[in-house]
Amino acid sequence: MHTHTHINKMVLKKYLILILLFAFSQKNYAQKNETVLATVTYKISQVRNQQTLINDVCLMDISKNYSFFYSKNVAENIAKMKEAFEKASATGVKPNFNAADFVITKIYRFYKLHSFSKKETINIQSVGNQMLGYVDAGYTNNWEIKPDTMSINGLKCQKAILERSSSIITGWFCKDIPFQAGPFSFFGLPGLIVKTSSSDGWESELTGITYNKDDKKKMDIIDYALVSETDFKKAVENAKASRQIGGASPNTGRKQN
């Protein structure tokens, strides 16, 4: 018996467009010669006006030169979709799967690529039928380190505060894990950022870390066109206008952290 509503079908359509955009454009994923030193798992959320907008699990791959932050659920769905279509291509048989199985809600749709040497983060996002990125000039590493300490998932952490535009971020970092990286676009503390909370409702907390001991895992950095922030915003507005006149671009308007 069908239980899908019209709204669910719309969500399904938008999500499948997003997945297909990521999975089947050969320019989307580029293998970089960056050995992953560690992969950190974070539970993240965004709550606004007592409504949960984001509830996801994200991964952050760390190499010598970069950190790359992305949704674990999106990555797993991309892998499943690619496997299904590659199998179909090899056998000549139409893919047989329930598209609804690939729909997850409240996911984190952004990618964050941080360069340790440049001390800058590039925000990457699907806009229409392309992947665009721009340097986030608003993020800094001007943290105010506090004396407070707390144990988080067995890690001894120290408190730090960062002010950014209209939001205040509270971070907890672990000096015992010497990566100056963190979730979202946060960086620059003398140790891995384990937990964050912001005054605009974003939360993140480390739930695990895996070290790449055999040096075989390489970092998959999504390919993108680097544009100015102004041009990025223009592209987002154009994509919105396209949807309003019947286009089928994925949602790109959600405020990010």
The beta-strand segments (E) located in 29-143 are 29-35, 38-48, 51-62, 66-71, 111-115, 120-127, 130-135
pLDDT of the residue at 107: 92
| Inside any domain, residue 109 | yes
Q: What is the mean pLDDT of residues 53-80?
A: 92
pLDDT greater than 60 at residue 70: yes
pLDDT of the residue at 98: 63
- Tens of pLDDT, residue by residue over 159-194, are 999 988 778 999 999 999 999 999 999 999 999 999
Q: What is the mean pLDDT of residues 1-15?
A: 47
| Inside any domain, residue 201 | no
| Inside any domain, residue 62 | yes
pLDDT of the residue at 99: 59
Decide the pairing of beta strands 225-226 and 130-135.
parallel
160, 138 Cβ separation under 8 angstroms: no
Is 0.75 surpassed by the pTM of this model? yes
Q: What is the mean pLDDT of residues 155-162?
A: 97
Share of residues in the chain with pLDDT > 90 (%): 53
pLDDT of the residue at 108: 94
Residues found in the chain: 257
- Tens of pLDDT, residue by residue over 188-223, are 999 999 999 999 999 999 999 999 888 788 888 888
| Inside any domain, residue 225 | yes
pLDDT greater than 60 at residue 251: no
Quote the CA–CA distance of 36 and 68 in Å, as a whole number: 10
- Tens of pLDDT, residue by residue over 9-55, are 554 555 554 555 444 443 334 446 789 999 999 999 999 999 999 99
| Inside any domain, residue 108 | yes
Strand order in the sheet with 167-174: 144-152, 155-164, 167-174, 192-198, 202-211, 38-48, 51-62, 66-71, 111-115, 120-127, 130-135, 225-226
Give the residue, 101 or 42, on which the prediction is more confident: 42
Per the structure, the complete domain to which residue 11 belongs is given by 6-138+210-244
pLDDT greater than 80 at residue 148: yes
pLDDT of the residue at 192: 98
| Inside any domain, residue 193 | no
Average pLDDT of the chain is 82
pLDDT greater than 80 at residue 234: yes
| Inside any domain, residue 85 | yes
Tally of structural domains, the chain: 1
| Inside any domain, residue 234 | yes
Instruction: Residue 248: count other Cβ atoms within 10 Å of its Cβ.
Output: 11
Of 87-91, 124-128, 188-192, 249-253, where does the model show the most confidence?
188-192
Which residues does residue 168 pair with via DSSP β-bridges, in sequence order? 163
